Structure 1
Amino acid sequence: MTDKTSAPARIDAEAVAAYLEANPEFFVGRDELLGELHVPHETGAAVSLVERQIRLLRERNLDLRTRLSQLMDVARDNDRLFDKTRRLVLDLLDAQSVEEVVGLVEDSLRHEFKVPFVSLTLFGEHASPVGRWVRVSEAHQAIGGLLARNKTLCGVLRSHELAFLFGEEQQQLIGSAAVAALDHQGLHGVLAIGSPDPQHYKSSLGTLFLGHIADVLARLLPRLTPPLRTVR
Protein backbone atom coordinates (compact mmCIF):
# COMPACT_ATOMS: atom_id res chain seq x y z
CA MET A 1 0.00 0.00 0.00
CA THR A 2 1.42 3.37 -1.00
CA ASP A 3 2.01 5.92 1.76
CA LYS A 4 0.48 9.12 0.39
CA THR A 5 2.03 11.17 3.19
CA SER A 6 5.61 10.25 2.34
CA ALA A 7 7.90 12.86 0.73
CA PRO A 8 7.85 12.94 -3.07
CA ALA A 9 10.68 11.20 -4.88
CA ARG A 10 13.62 13.44 -5.74
CA ILE A 11 13.69 14.45 -9.41
CA ASP A 12 17.11 14.30 -11.04
CA ALA A 13 18.40 16.47 -13.89
CA GLU A 14 17.79 13.75 -16.50
CA ALA A 15 14.12 13.52 -15.56
CA VAL A 16 13.71 17.30 -15.81
CA ALA A 17 15.45 17.32 -19.19
CA ALA A 18 13.26 14.49 -20.46
CA TYR A 19 10.10 16.26 -19.30
CA LEU A 20 11.08 19.56 -20.99
CA GLU A 21 11.97 17.70 -24.16
CA ALA A 22 8.56 16.07 -24.17
CA ASN A 23 6.84 19.37 -23.34
CA PRO A 24 8.66 22.08 -25.33
CA GLU A 25 5.81 24.56 -24.70
CA PHE A 26 6.28 24.39 -20.90
CA PHE A 27 7.66 27.93 -20.56
CA VAL A 28 4.86 29.50 -22.63
CA GLY A 29 2.99 31.80 -20.28
CA ARG A 30 5.59 31.35 -17.54
CA ASP A 31 7.77 34.39 -18.18
CA GLU A 32 8.56 34.74 -14.47
CA LEU A 33 10.43 31.41 -14.62
CA LEU A 34 12.46 32.52 -17.61
CA GLY A 35 13.57 35.57 -15.67
CA GLU A 36 14.99 33.33 -12.93
CA LEU A 37 16.90 30.96 -15.22
CA HIS A 38 20.68 31.25 -15.34
CA VAL A 39 22.09 30.29 -18.73
CA PRO A 40 25.79 31.23 -19.08
CA HIS A 41 26.88 32.48 -22.46
CA GLU A 42 30.22 30.86 -23.25
CA THR A 43 32.68 33.59 -24.23
CA GLY A 44 35.81 32.52 -22.45
CA ALA A 45 37.05 34.84 -19.71
CA ALA A 46 34.96 37.79 -20.96
CA VAL A 47 31.32 38.39 -20.00
CA SER A 48 29.08 38.64 -23.04
CA LEU A 49 26.92 41.70 -23.64
CA VAL A 50 23.80 39.55 -23.57
CA GLU A 51 24.69 38.04 -20.19
CA ARG A 52 25.48 41.49 -18.80
CA GLN A 53 22.15 42.85 -20.03
CA ILE A 54 20.28 39.95 -18.44
CA ARG A 55 22.07 40.55 -15.15
CA LEU A 56 21.14 44.23 -15.20
CA LEU A 57 17.52 43.41 -15.98
CA ARG A 58 17.39 41.00 -13.07
CA GLU A 59 18.89 43.60 -10.71
CA ARG A 60 16.39 46.21 -11.87
CA ASN A 61 13.55 43.71 -11.48
CA LEU A 62 14.64 42.99 -7.90
CA ASP A 63 14.86 46.72 -7.17
CA LEU A 64 11.36 47.30 -8.56
CA ARG A 65 9.99 44.45 -6.46
CA THR A 66 11.58 45.96 -3.35
CA ARG A 67 10.16 49.39 -4.10
CA LEU A 68 6.72 47.95 -4.77
CA SER A 69 6.83 46.08 -1.47
CA GLN A 70 7.76 49.30 0.35
CA LEU A 71 4.93 51.19 -1.35
CA MET A 72 2.48 48.47 -0.36
CA ASP A 73 3.67 48.70 3.25
CA VAL A 74 3.17 52.48 3.21
CA ALA A 75 -0.29 52.08 1.68
CA ARG A 76 -1.30 49.57 4.37
CA ASP A 77 0.00 51.90 7.11
CA ASN A 78 -1.94 54.81 5.62
CA ASP A 79 -5.10 52.71 5.46
CA ARG A 80 -4.76 51.90 9.15
CA LEU A 81 -4.09 55.54 10.04
CA PHE A 82 -7.06 56.68 7.98
CA ASP A 83 -9.37 54.23 9.72
CA LYS A 84 -8.17 55.29 13.18
CA THR A 85 -8.50 58.97 12.26
CA ARG A 86 -12.01 58.44 10.87
CA ARG A 87 -13.15 56.74 14.06
CA LEU A 88 -11.66 59.47 16.24
CA VAL A 89 -13.27 62.25 14.20
CA LEU A 90 -16.69 60.59 14.40
CA ASP A 91 -16.34 60.24 18.17
CA LEU A 92 -15.29 63.90 18.47
CA LEU A 93 -18.32 65.05 16.50
CA ASP A 94 -20.54 63.32 19.06
CA ALA A 95 -18.75 64.89 22.04
CA GLN A 96 -20.79 67.24 24.20
CA SER A 97 -18.08 68.87 26.34
CA VAL A 98 -14.44 69.95 26.39
CA GLU A 99 -13.79 67.24 28.97
CA GLU A 100 -15.07 64.58 26.58
CA VAL A 101 -13.05 65.99 23.67
CA VAL A 102 -9.82 66.05 25.68
CA GLY A 103 -10.38 62.50 26.91
CA LEU A 104 -11.16 61.17 23.44
CA VAL A 105 -8.09 62.74 21.84
CA GLU A 106 -5.63 61.64 24.50
CA ASP A 107 -7.05 58.13 24.77
CA SER A 108 -7.13 57.56 21.01
CA LEU A 109 -3.62 58.88 20.37
CA ARG A 110 -2.12 56.87 23.20
CA HIS A 111 -3.94 53.58 22.74
CA GLU A 112 -5.08 53.47 19.10
CA PHE A 113 -2.19 55.37 17.47
CA LYS A 114 0.34 54.06 20.02
CA VAL A 115 1.82 57.53 20.67
CA PRO A 116 3.80 57.56 23.96
CA PHE A 117 3.62 61.34 24.57
CA VAL A 118 0.51 63.44 23.89
CA SER A 119 -0.19 67.08 24.68
CA LEU A 120 -3.32 69.12 23.95
CA THR A 121 -2.99 72.71 25.15
CA LEU A 122 -5.71 75.36 24.81
CA PHE A 123 -5.09 79.09 25.01
CA GLY A 124 -7.25 81.55 26.92
CA GLU A 125 -7.16 84.35 29.45
CA HIS A 126 -9.35 82.41 31.86
CA ALA A 127 -8.45 78.83 32.72
CA SER A 128 -11.01 76.09 32.29
CA PRO A 129 -11.47 73.36 34.91
CA VAL A 130 -11.03 70.82 32.12
CA GLY A 131 -7.89 70.14 30.11
CA ARG A 132 -4.69 72.17 30.05
CA TRP A 133 -5.11 75.90 29.55
CA VAL A 134 -2.39 78.57 29.44
CA ARG A 135 -2.48 82.30 28.99
CA VAL A 136 -1.98 83.68 25.52
CA SER A 137 1.13 85.61 26.56
CA GLU A 138 2.70 82.48 28.08
CA ALA A 139 2.08 80.44 24.93
CA HIS A 140 3.47 83.20 22.73
CA GLN A 141 6.63 83.47 24.85
CA ALA A 142 7.29 79.72 24.99
CA ILE A 143 6.40 78.49 21.48
CA GLY A 144 5.68 81.63 19.50
CA GLY A 145 8.17 80.54 16.86
CA LEU A 146 6.25 77.31 16.25
CA LEU A 147 2.89 79.06 16.16
CA ALA A 148 4.03 81.81 13.81
CA ARG A 149 4.63 79.28 11.01
CA ASN A 150 0.96 78.31 11.14
CA LYS A 151 1.54 74.75 9.92
CA THR A 152 2.23 71.30 11.25
CA LEU A 153 5.90 70.80 12.12
CA CYS A 154 8.04 67.73 12.79
CA GLY A 155 11.54 67.28 14.12
CA VAL A 156 13.71 67.84 17.17
CA LEU A 157 12.39 70.70 19.30
CA ARG A 158 14.28 72.89 21.74
CA SER A 159 14.19 71.96 25.42
CA HIS A 160 12.04 74.91 26.50
CA GLU A 161 9.50 74.12 23.75
CA LEU A 162 9.29 70.49 24.87
CA ALA A 163 8.98 71.57 28.50
CA PHE A 164 6.05 73.85 27.64
CA LEU A 165 4.25 71.23 25.55
CA PHE A 166 4.87 68.10 27.60
CA GLY A 167 6.09 69.24 31.01
CA GLU A 168 9.51 69.40 32.64
CA GLU A 169 9.63 65.69 33.54
CA GLN A 170 8.64 64.31 30.16
CA GLN A 171 10.66 66.71 28.04
CA GLN A 172 13.85 64.83 28.98
CA LEU A 173 12.40 61.65 27.49
CA ILE A 174 11.33 63.04 24.11
CA GLY A 175 13.69 62.79 21.17
CA SER A 176 11.42 64.19 18.45
CA ALA A 177 7.92 65.61 18.17
CA ALA A 178 5.18 66.69 15.78
CA VAL A 179 3.22 69.86 16.51
CA ALA A 180 -0.04 71.03 14.91
CA ALA A 181 -1.63 74.39 15.66
CA LEU A 182 -5.38 74.60 16.24
CA ASP A 183 -6.15 77.59 14.07
CA HIS A 184 -9.63 78.53 12.96
CA GLN A 185 -10.71 82.13 13.13
CA GLY A 186 -7.86 82.73 15.55
CA LEU A 187 -5.39 80.41 17.22
CA HIS A 188 -7.07 78.23 19.83
CA GLY A 189 -4.32 75.90 20.93
CA VAL A 190 -1.78 73.31 19.93
CA LEU A 191 -1.78 69.52 19.61
CA ALA A 192 1.60 67.82 20.01
CA ILE A 193 2.81 64.21 19.99
CA GLY A 194 6.26 62.96 20.93
CA SER A 195 8.55 59.96 20.63
CA PRO A 196 11.75 58.98 22.49
CA ASP A 197 13.32 58.24 19.09
CA PRO A 198 15.03 61.36 17.62
CA GLN A 199 14.47 59.95 14.12
CA HIS A 200 10.80 59.03 14.52
CA TYR A 201 9.34 62.42 13.69
CA LYS A 202 11.64 63.68 10.99
CA SER A 203 11.15 67.04 9.36
CA SER A 204 10.14 65.27 6.15
CA LEU A 205 7.57 63.05 7.85
CA GLY A 206 4.07 63.43 6.47
CA THR A 207 1.74 65.20 8.91
CA LEU A 208 -1.54 64.78 7.06
CA PHE A 209 -3.38 62.83 9.77
CA LEU A 210 -2.18 64.91 12.72
CA GLY A 211 -3.04 68.09 10.84
CA HIS A 212 -6.48 66.71 10.02
CA ILE A 213 -7.21 65.93 13.68
CA ALA A 214 -6.04 69.42 14.67
CA ASP A 215 -8.32 71.01 12.05
CA VAL A 216 -11.31 69.12 13.43
CA LEU A 217 -10.46 70.18 17.00
CA ALA A 218 -10.05 73.81 15.94
CA ARG A 219 -13.57 73.86 14.51
CA LEU A 220 -15.14 71.85 17.32
CA LEU A 221 -13.68 73.48 20.43
CA PRO A 222 -15.07 77.01 19.86
CA ARG A 223 -18.57 75.54 20.10
CA LEU A 224 -17.78 74.21 23.56
CA THR A 225 -15.60 77.01 24.97
CA PRO A 226 -15.71 80.80 25.35
CA PRO A 227 -14.13 82.89 22.55
CA LEU A 228 -10.33 82.62 22.53
CA ARG A 229 -7.89 85.37 21.69
CA THR A 230 -5.57 85.08 18.74
CA VAL A 231 -1.84 84.63 19.28
CA ARG A 232 0.27 86.69 16.90
Structure 2
Amino acid sequence: MNIKSTETDISTDTENTNTKSADAIVKDAAQMTADYLTAHPDFFTEHSALLASLDVSHDSGSAISLIERQVGILREQNAQHKSQLAELVSIAKDNEQSNQKMHKLTLSLLACSGIDACEVALDEVLCDEFTVDAISLKLFSKPIDEQPEHLFVTAESALAQELEKLLNTRKPMCGFFKKLPLEELFESKSDSISSVAVIPLFVEKNHCFGALILGSNNIRRFNADMGTLFLERLGEILSHKLSLFFK
Protein backbone atom coordinates (compact mmCIF):
# COMPACT_ATOMS: atom_id res chain seq x y z
CA MET A 1 0.00 0.00 0.00
CA ASN A 2 2.86 2.40 0.81
CA ILE A 3 4.49 1.69 -2.52
CA LYS A 4 1.25 2.38 -4.46
CA SER A 5 0.71 5.60 -2.53
CA THR A 6 4.21 6.75 -3.37
CA GLU A 7 3.63 6.03 -7.07
CA THR A 8 0.41 8.03 -6.97
CA ASP A 9 2.14 11.01 -5.34
CA ILE A 10 4.91 10.90 -7.92
CA SER A 11 2.34 10.93 -10.78
CA THR A 12 0.45 13.87 -9.26
CA ASP A 13 3.65 15.87 -8.78
CA THR A 14 4.58 15.25 -12.42
CA GLU A 15 1.19 16.51 -13.64
CA ASN A 16 1.45 19.64 -11.49
CA THR A 17 4.94 20.26 -12.85
CA ASN A 18 3.69 19.97 -16.45
CA THR A 19 0.75 22.30 -15.70
CA LYS A 20 3.01 24.89 -14.15
CA SER A 21 5.33 24.66 -17.12
CA ALA A 22 2.40 25.31 -19.53
CA ASP A 23 1.21 28.27 -17.47
CA ALA A 24 4.72 29.65 -17.40
CA ILE A 25 4.99 29.34 -21.16
CA VAL A 26 1.69 31.24 -21.68
CA LYS A 27 2.79 33.97 -19.29
CA ASP A 28 6.15 34.25 -21.00
CA ALA A 29 4.44 34.50 -24.42
CA ALA A 30 2.01 37.14 -23.13
CA GLN A 31 4.87 39.13 -21.63
CA MET A 32 6.85 38.89 -24.86
CA THR A 33 3.81 40.11 -26.80
CA ALA A 34 3.32 42.99 -24.39
CA ASP A 35 7.01 43.89 -24.57
CA TYR A 36 6.90 43.83 -28.38
CA LEU A 37 3.80 46.04 -28.56
CA THR A 38 5.36 48.44 -26.09
CA ALA A 39 8.46 48.67 -28.25
CA HIS A 40 6.37 49.07 -31.42
CA PRO A 41 3.43 51.39 -30.54
CA ASP A 42 2.55 51.84 -34.22
CA PHE A 43 1.96 48.11 -34.75
CA PHE A 44 -1.85 48.32 -34.95
CA THR A 45 -1.62 51.40 -37.16
CA GLU A 46 0.26 49.31 -39.69
CA HIS A 47 -2.05 46.31 -39.15
CA SER A 48 -5.46 47.95 -38.96
CA ALA A 49 -7.23 44.87 -40.35
CA LEU A 50 -5.98 42.85 -37.39
CA LEU A 51 -7.17 45.52 -34.95
CA ALA A 52 -10.64 45.52 -36.47
CA SER A 53 -10.94 41.76 -35.95
CA LEU A 54 -10.02 41.85 -32.26
CA ASP A 55 -12.72 41.54 -29.58
CA VAL A 56 -11.63 43.55 -26.54
CA SER A 57 -13.70 42.88 -23.45
CA HIS A 58 -14.41 45.50 -20.77
CA ASP A 59 -13.86 45.42 -17.04
CA SER A 60 -17.61 45.82 -16.65
CA GLY A 61 -18.24 42.44 -18.25
CA SER A 62 -20.89 42.40 -20.94
CA ALA A 63 -21.77 46.08 -20.33
CA ILE A 64 -20.55 48.73 -22.79
CA SER A 65 -19.03 52.04 -21.82
CA LEU A 66 -20.99 55.31 -21.89
CA ILE A 67 -18.77 56.65 -24.66
CA GLU A 68 -19.40 53.58 -26.80
CA ARG A 69 -23.15 53.96 -26.25
CA GLN A 70 -23.01 57.62 -27.24
CA VAL A 71 -20.99 56.79 -30.36
CA GLY A 72 -23.52 54.11 -31.27
CA ILE A 73 -26.42 56.56 -30.89
CA LEU A 74 -24.60 59.16 -33.00
CA ARG A 75 -24.01 56.60 -35.72
CA GLU A 76 -27.70 55.64 -35.73
CA GLN A 77 -28.73 59.29 -35.89
CA ASN A 78 -26.26 59.92 -38.69
CA ALA A 79 -27.68 57.01 -40.68
CA GLN A 80 -31.22 58.32 -40.12
CA HIS A 81 -30.20 61.82 -41.23
CA LYS A 82 -28.60 60.45 -44.38
CA SER A 83 -31.76 58.50 -45.17
CA GLN A 84 -33.96 61.55 -44.55
CA LEU A 85 -31.70 63.73 -46.68
CA ALA A 86 -31.81 61.22 -49.53
CA GLU A 87 -35.62 61.15 -49.29
CA LEU A 88 -35.83 64.96 -49.34
CA VAL A 89 -33.55 65.13 -52.37
CA SER A 90 -35.71 62.57 -54.14
CA ILE A 91 -38.88 64.53 -53.31
CA ALA A 92 -37.28 67.76 -54.51
CA LYS A 93 -36.35 66.13 -57.83
CA ASP A 94 -39.89 64.79 -58.26
CA ASN A 95 -41.36 68.21 -57.48
CA GLU A 96 -39.04 69.88 -59.96
CA GLN A 97 -40.07 67.42 -62.66
CA SER A 98 -43.76 67.97 -61.83
CA ASN A 99 -43.29 71.75 -62.04
CA GLN A 100 -41.66 71.43 -65.46
CA LYS A 101 -44.50 69.22 -66.69
CA MET A 102 -47.11 71.62 -65.31
CA HIS A 103 -45.37 74.49 -67.04
CA LYS A 104 -45.51 72.56 -70.32
CA LEU A 105 -49.22 71.90 -69.83
CA THR A 106 -49.90 75.56 -69.01
CA LEU A 107 -48.16 76.72 -72.17
CA SER A 108 -50.13 74.19 -74.21
CA LEU A 109 -53.44 75.43 -72.77
CA LEU A 110 -52.53 79.08 -73.34
CA ALA A 111 -52.07 78.35 -77.03
CA CYS A 112 -55.53 76.76 -77.37
CA SER A 113 -58.18 78.70 -79.32
CA GLY A 114 -61.18 76.57 -78.29
CA ILE A 115 -62.50 74.08 -75.75
CA ASP A 116 -61.89 71.19 -78.13
CA ALA A 117 -58.25 72.24 -78.48
CA CYS A 118 -57.95 72.27 -74.66
CA GLU A 119 -59.27 68.73 -74.57
CA VAL A 120 -56.61 67.62 -77.05
CA ALA A 121 -53.84 69.40 -75.12
CA LEU A 122 -54.97 67.80 -71.86
CA ASP A 123 -55.04 64.35 -73.41
CA GLU A 124 -51.59 64.69 -74.96
CA VAL A 125 -49.71 66.19 -72.02
CA LEU A 126 -51.43 64.36 -69.16
CA CYS A 127 -51.23 60.95 -70.83
CA ASP A 128 -47.65 61.44 -72.03
CA GLU A 129 -46.14 63.22 -69.04
CA PHE A 130 -48.23 62.34 -65.98
CA THR A 131 -48.93 58.60 -66.45
CA VAL A 132 -52.66 59.17 -66.94
CA ASP A 133 -54.37 56.57 -69.12
CA ALA A 134 -57.53 58.49 -70.06
CA ILE A 135 -59.08 61.94 -69.60
CA SER A 136 -62.63 63.22 -69.87
CA LEU A 137 -63.69 66.87 -69.90
CA LYS A 138 -67.33 67.59 -69.04
CA LEU A 139 -68.99 71.02 -68.86
CA PHE A 140 -72.39 71.67 -67.26
CA SER A 141 -73.97 73.86 -69.92
CA LYS A 142 -75.67 73.85 -73.26
CA PRO A 143 -73.38 73.09 -76.21
CA ILE A 144 -71.44 76.02 -77.60
CA ASP A 145 -71.37 76.57 -81.35
CA GLU A 146 -68.53 74.87 -83.20
CA GLN A 147 -67.57 72.82 -80.11
CA PRO A 148 -68.02 69.00 -79.86
CA GLU A 149 -71.29 68.07 -78.13
CA HIS A 150 -69.69 65.27 -76.07
CA LEU A 151 -67.97 67.94 -73.96
CA PHE A 152 -71.30 69.19 -72.57
CA VAL A 153 -73.75 67.51 -70.18
CA THR A 154 -77.09 68.82 -68.92
CA ALA A 155 -77.62 69.27 -65.21
CA GLU A 156 -80.48 66.71 -65.32
CA SER A 157 -78.32 63.90 -66.75
CA ALA A 158 -77.30 60.93 -64.60
CA LEU A 159 -73.63 61.71 -65.24
CA ALA A 160 -73.98 65.32 -64.07
CA GLN A 161 -75.81 64.23 -60.92
CA GLU A 162 -73.13 61.68 -60.01
CA LEU A 163 -70.38 64.23 -60.65
CA GLU A 164 -72.18 66.80 -58.50
CA LYS A 165 -72.09 64.39 -55.55
CA LEU A 166 -68.31 64.19 -55.87
CA LEU A 167 -67.86 67.90 -56.50
CA ASN A 168 -69.84 69.26 -53.55
CA THR A 169 -66.63 69.73 -51.55
CA ARG A 170 -65.17 71.79 -54.44
CA LYS A 171 -61.95 69.80 -54.06
CA PRO A 172 -60.48 66.97 -56.16
CA MET A 173 -61.77 63.51 -55.22
CA CYS A 174 -59.71 60.38 -55.84
CA GLY A 175 -60.54 56.67 -55.74
CA PHE A 176 -62.88 54.33 -57.54
CA PHE A 177 -66.51 55.34 -57.60
CA LYS A 178 -68.85 52.50 -58.57
CA LYS A 179 -71.79 54.71 -59.51
CA LEU A 180 -69.76 56.86 -61.86
CA PRO A 181 -70.61 55.81 -65.46
CA LEU A 182 -67.12 55.14 -66.79
CA GLU A 183 -68.45 54.07 -70.20
CA GLU A 184 -69.84 57.54 -70.76
CA LEU A 185 -66.64 59.19 -69.56
CA PHE A 186 -63.93 57.08 -71.18
CA GLU A 187 -65.82 55.07 -73.83
CA SER A 188 -63.57 52.27 -75.17
CA LYS A 189 -60.97 52.77 -72.44
CA SER A 190 -63.47 52.34 -69.59
CA ASP A 191 -62.95 48.58 -69.10
CA SER A 192 -59.35 49.00 -67.92
CA ILE A 193 -59.87 52.04 -65.66
CA SER A 194 -59.24 51.12 -62.00
CA SER A 195 -58.96 54.53 -60.31
CA VAL A 196 -60.05 58.06 -61.12
CA ALA A 197 -59.51 61.66 -60.04
CA VAL A 198 -62.46 64.06 -60.35
CA ILE A 199 -61.31 67.70 -60.49
CA PRO A 200 -63.89 70.50 -60.15
CA LEU A 201 -63.82 73.46 -62.54
CA PHE A 202 -65.16 76.74 -61.22
CA VAL A 203 -65.06 80.48 -61.73
CA GLU A 204 -65.88 81.04 -58.09
CA LYS A 205 -66.05 78.54 -55.26
CA ASN A 206 -69.84 78.51 -55.40
CA HIS A 207 -70.06 78.26 -59.19
CA CYS A 208 -68.83 74.91 -60.47
CA PHE A 209 -69.28 74.75 -64.23
CA GLY A 210 -67.68 71.41 -65.05
CA ALA A 211 -65.17 68.70 -64.18
CA LEU A 212 -62.00 67.14 -65.50
CA ILE A 213 -61.89 63.41 -64.86
CA LEU A 214 -58.58 61.52 -65.02
CA GLY A 215 -58.53 57.74 -65.34
CA SER A 216 -55.76 55.25 -64.59
CA ASN A 217 -55.35 51.51 -65.15
CA ASN A 218 -53.44 51.39 -61.85
CA ILE A 219 -55.72 51.06 -58.84
CA ARG A 220 -53.13 52.87 -56.66
CA ARG A 221 -52.58 55.79 -59.04
CA PHE A 222 -55.49 57.84 -57.66
CA ASN A 223 -56.35 56.92 -54.07
CA ALA A 224 -58.24 58.64 -51.27
CA ASP A 225 -55.08 59.18 -49.19
CA MET A 226 -52.99 60.92 -51.85
CA GLY A 227 -52.17 64.62 -51.84
CA THR A 228 -54.26 66.73 -54.19
CA LEU A 229 -52.27 69.97 -54.42
CA PHE A 230 -51.18 69.27 -58.00
CA LEU A 231 -54.75 68.39 -58.99
CA GLU A 232 -56.04 71.61 -57.40
CA ARG A 233 -53.50 73.69 -59.35
CA LEU A 234 -54.45 71.87 -62.53
CA GLY A 235 -58.11 72.64 -61.88
CA GLU A 236 -57.40 76.33 -61.27
CA ILE A 237 -55.38 76.73 -64.48
CA LEU A 238 -57.94 74.88 -66.59
CA SER A 239 -60.87 76.72 -64.99
CA HIS A 240 -59.33 80.08 -65.81
CA LYS A 241 -58.67 79.06 -69.43
CA LEU A 242 -62.09 77.53 -70.09
CA SER A 243 -64.02 80.38 -68.44
CA LEU A 244 -62.76 82.65 -71.21
CA PHE A 245 -64.90 80.71 -73.74
CA PHE A 246 -68.10 81.26 -71.78
CA LYS A 247 -67.92 85.06 -71.80
TM-score between both structures, scaled by the size of structure 1: 0.72
Is 1:166 aligned to residue 185 of structure 2? yes
- Whole-angstrom distance in 2 between the partners of 1:40 and 1:107: 64
Structure 2 equivalent of residue 106 of structure 1: 123
Structure 2 equivalent of residue 77 of structure 1: 94
Is 1:205 aligned to residue 241 of structure 2? no
Which secondary structure state, in structure 2, belongs to the residue aligned with residue 79 of structure 1?
Answer: helix
Structure 1 equivalent of residue 67 of structure 2: 50
Is 1:17 aligned to residue 11 of structure 2? no
Offset of residue 54 of structure 1: 1.7
- Whole-angstrom distance in 2 between the partners of 1:161 and 1:96: 30
> Structure 1 stretches of 5 or more lacking a match?
1-13, 21-36, 228-232
Is 1:152 aligned to residue 172 of structure 2? yes
Percent same amino acid among aligned pairs? Answer: 27
Offset of residue 169 of structure 1: 5.4
Query: Which residue among 139, 143, 153 is the counterpart of 1:134?
Result: 153
- Whole-angstrom distance in 2 between the partners of 1:64 and 1:210: 31
Which secondary structure state, in structure 1, belongs to the residue aligned with residue 180 of structure 2?
Answer: helix
Structure 2 equivalent of residue 220 of structure 1: 241
User: Which structure ranks higher in relative contact order (CA pairs < 8 Å, sequence separation ≥ 6)?
Assistant: 1
* Count, aligned residues: 196
CA contact (8 A) 2:136 2:186 kept: no
Structure 2 equivalent of residue 143 of structure 1: 163
Which secondary structure state, in structure 1, belongs to the residue aligned with residue 218 of structure 2?
Answer: coil
Query: Which structure features the higher share of helix residues?
Result: 2
Structure showing greater Rg? 2
Offset of residue 131 of structure 1: 5.3
- Whole-angstrom distance in 2 between the partners of 1:65 and 1:120: 44
CA contact (8 A) 2:172 2:199 kept: yes
TM-score between both structures, scaled by the size of structure 2: 0.68
Change in CA separation of 1:17 and 1:143 when aligned onto 2, cut-off 3 Å:
same
Is 1:195 aligned to residue 223 of structure 2? no
CA contact (8 A) 1:175 1:196 kept: yes
Alignment RMSD (CA, Å) = 3.0
> Structure 2 stretches of 5 or more lacking a match?
1-41
User: What per-residue deviation string (whole Å, max 9, x for no partner) do you get for residues 85-135 of structure 1?
Assistant: 112112211211112111111110001222122222222133742652211
Offset of residue 41 of structure 1: 6.8
Change in CA separation of 1:88 and 1:59 when aligned onto 2, cut-off 3 Å:
same
Offset of residue 184 of structure 1: 0.8
